Chain A
């Protein structure tokens, strides 16, 4: 009985960790339906986890380039390899407001996104995880640096 309670406690703190870590986590199934939506995603998008769950990512964010993103996700399923999207190719995947609207010069959050395959207990890939990193500071610094270099 105590083992079961321990297991439940472990599960609880791990879940808490996933939810409150300062990166966006979205788990999608093969039909692009949301399986996990952490607090980062809730807070920045304003869409709660209970609403997001089981919905297609494309119906939550209608402005996503569906063909483009589907191809990336399909490649991750097919090739079983993580695929990365850099802020330099697209400033952001999800349109979120910048974390620091008063002291930052950016309006939107610049994002690096990693799409990783998740293997199930049988080793098969049935889900992928989108990991969304806020790289606004890095991006604004880099752009300011490039601008100065071009002037000189």
Chain B
């Protein structure tokens, strides 16, 4: 008898990658869902044995899905596969009924071992003749945006985990946004994400293998009191200690993020020293669009929030125009690898 498996992830690449690494001697029928809502609908319509569940998704995320599954009779065994590797995330999903947690991307050996551990891959449901796994659709091409979003998603989980470890808190992770922006749109995007009048920012440059970009960490100024408290600074902290705080948070968020991106793309980036772009300035003064020479940029935007604290910071990666073709080329290899 075949086992019915549902793979739920908002990224097409992640869905496809996971379907590919399932043991090919495992007698399974695979279905896909794009978010928690979609998965729950499919589970209500037909019974599934196993649900592979991502955590950070739009519409309904993994936590909400786990919550909704509690009390559902005949609910599938849930294996969370996520880029968010914070110990608290793992603890939380297990408390919510997930059978196991695995970090993204999982290899076929990892998955086999996990399934054996959970007693889900048994003699009864093994095929004598291994099959090649069907992909979601046969000739699928991934856009630069899709691939970069998934790469960022994995990298962001690593960065949040580093920050969470340093501060002993839980970082809420949203889905990273990947867009090609015109100069004028960048200003709008920044103003939209930073809702307050004043903010502080650190910029750091990266270059490697024909790809150049800046990582911009923008802090809402109202985040400072809580951040200072978390780092154990005294109440009357000075402007210098604010700078210190900014530099520390940017080191801890940007460093692991970049090494995770670099690892996936196989590039050892050179890091510039981070620079303080501005302290307590208006977002419009941060990047003066009139002075810029570039027209369009590829931007990845990630908003980090710390649970139970008034802390909100925005990480933006801005790629230079001439990096885009190279990046596209490298990412296409990555998408192909997963075929």
CB distance from A46 to the nearest CB of B (A): 26
| In contact, A81 and B244 (Cβ under 8 angstroms) | no
Asked if B256 CB lies within 8 Å of chain A CBs, one says yes
**Among the listed A80, A83, A88, A114, which residue makes an inter-chain contact with B276, where contact means beta carbons less than 8 Å apart?**
A88
Known: A75-B166, A79-B166, A82-B271. A90 touches B240 (CB 8 A): yes
Known: A86-B273, A112-B273, A133-B273. A79 touches B247 (CB 8 A): no
Asked if B67 CB lies within 8 Å of chain A CBs, one says no
Q: Which residues of A contact B240 (CB under 8 A)?
A: 88-90
Asked if A85 CB lies within 8 Å of chain B CBs, one says yes
**CB contact list, A88-117 vs B, under 8 A:** 88-90, 112, 114
Chain A residue at minimal CB-CB distance from B274: A84
CB distance from A71 to the nearest CB of B (A): 9
Q: Which residues of A contact B243 (CB under 8 A)?
A: 86, 88-89
Chain B residue at minimal CB-CB distance from A83: B251
| In contact, B256 and A79 (Cβ under 8 angstroms) | yes
**CB contact list, B236-257 vs A, under 8 A:** 240-241, 243-244, 247-248, 250-252, 255-256
Chain B residue at minimal CB-CB distance from A75: B166
| In contact, B251 and A82 (Cβ under 8 angstroms) | yes
Place the interface of chain A in its size category.
Answer: 10 to 19
| In contact, B247 and A81 (Cβ under 8 angstroms) | no
Tell me, in angstroms, the Cα distance from A133 to B240 when the chains sit together.
Answer: 19
| In contact, B274 and A81 (Cβ under 8 angstroms) | no
Asked if B322 CB lies within 8 Å of chain A CBs, one says no
| In contact, B252 and A75 (Cβ under 8 angstroms) | yes
**CB contact list, A38-89 vs B, under 8 A:** 72, 75, 78-86, 88-89
| In contact, B273 and A83 (Cβ under 8 angstroms) | no
| In contact, B251 and A78 (Cβ under 8 angstroms) | no
CB distance from A26 to the nearest CB of B (A): 17
Chain A residue at minimal CB-CB distance from B279: A88
| In contact, B276 and A81 (Cβ under 8 angstroms) | no
Q: Which residues of A contact B247 (CB under 8 A)?
A: 83-86, 89
Known: A89-B240, A114-B273, A133-B273. A83 touches B255 (CB 8 A): yes
Asked if B196 CB lies within 8 Å of chain A CBs, one says no
Q: Mark B247-281, 1 if CB is under 8 A from A, else 0.
A: 11011100110010000000000010111100000
Chain A residue at minimal CB-CB distance from B276: A88
Q: Which residues of B contact A90 (CB under 8 A)?
A: 240, 244
| In contact, A86 and B256 (Cβ under 8 angstroms) | no
Tell me, in angstroms, the Cα distance from A49 to B250 when the chains sit together.
Answer: 33
Q: Which residues of A contact B244 (CB under 8 A)?
A: 89-90
Chain B residue at minimal CB-CB distance from A81: B255
B residues with a Cβ closer than 8 A to A are: 162, 165-166, 240-241, 243-244, 247-248, 250-252, 255-256, 259, 271, 273-276
- 26 A-B contacts, Cβ less than 8 Å apart? A75-B248, A78-B166, A79-B166, A79-B256, A80-B256, A81-B251, A81-B252, A81-B256, A82-B255, A82-B271, A83-B252, A84-B251, A84-B273, A84-B274, A85-B247, A86-B243, A86-B247, A86-B275, A86-B276, A88-B240, A88-B276, A89-B241, A89-B243, A90-B240, A90-B244, A114-B273
A residues with a Cβ closer than 8 A to B are: 72, 75, 78-86, 88-90, 112, 114, 133
Query: What 4 A-B pairs have minimum CB-CB distances, sorted nearest first?
Result: A81-B255, A89-B243, A83-B251, A89-B244
